[in-house]
Amino acid sequence: DFAFMGGSLGMAAGETFIKAAHEAIARQCPFVIFTASGGARMQEGTLSLMQMARTTLAVNELRAAGLPYIVVLTDPTSGGVTASYAMLGDVHLAEPNAMIAFSGRRVIEQTIREILPPGFQRSEFLAERGMVDRVVSRPDLPAMLSSILTTLMMGRARSTAA
């Protein structure tokens, strides 16, 4: 919930992601996640930062199980979420004009001492450079996800366990 502390990645969010990935493995079904984050919850210190590694390991477990991992990047997706599980998908979709970044524009410009191009952290800019596979408006997402998942799961028997 982005309205709560910027939708930050803390221990509870990390654990929820991991449990969802394990459930996808148990059910032998694709894992689709919609991201919205202001970064890692620094109030939890190291415990929050550990979630980046833990969620990455869960993504590796999905890969080992041969299951698709689809990420839908919403506005905004930033910080530790971008640095970990948000950019590890087999397919990355993004909503139009979504801000997708690790760090803020000002911080990057001050660090590299250069002015960044317009739209630098927007989904269309990232799609043009191959970091996002496609920019898709929300009304078109169900059909797009259905097409992608049908293709990726073709020929694979799926468990119907609830």
Q: What is the pLDDT of residues 57-89, one digit of tens each?
A: 999 999 999 999 999 999 999 888 888 899 999
The percentage of residues in the chain with a pLDDT greater than 70, rounded to a whole number, is 88
Query: For residue 134, what is the domain's CATH number?
Result: 3.90.226.10
**The pTM of the whole model exceeds 0.85:** yes
Within a domain: residue 30? Answer: yes
Within a domain: residue 117? Answer: yes
Within a domain: residue 139? Answer: yes
**Inter-residue long-range contacts of 53-60, CB under 8 Å, 24+ positions, other chains counted:** 53/84, 54/14, 54/18, 55/9, 55/14, 55/17, 55/18, 55/21, 55/84, 55/85, 56/84, 56/85, 56/88, 58/17, 58/18, 58/21, 58/22, 58/85, 59/21, 59/85, 59/88
Count of the separate structural domains present in the chain: 1
Q: What is the pLDDT of residues 97-144, one digit of tens each?
A: 999 998 888 888 999 999 999 999 999 999 999 999 999 999 999 999
65-76 burial, b for 16+ CB within 10 Å, e for fewer?
Answer: eebbbbbbbbbb
Domain encompassing residue 129: 5-151
Within a domain: residue 124? Answer: yes
Residue range 6-28: mean pLDDT, rounded: 89
Within a domain: residue 162? Answer: no
Within a domain: residue 57? Answer: yes
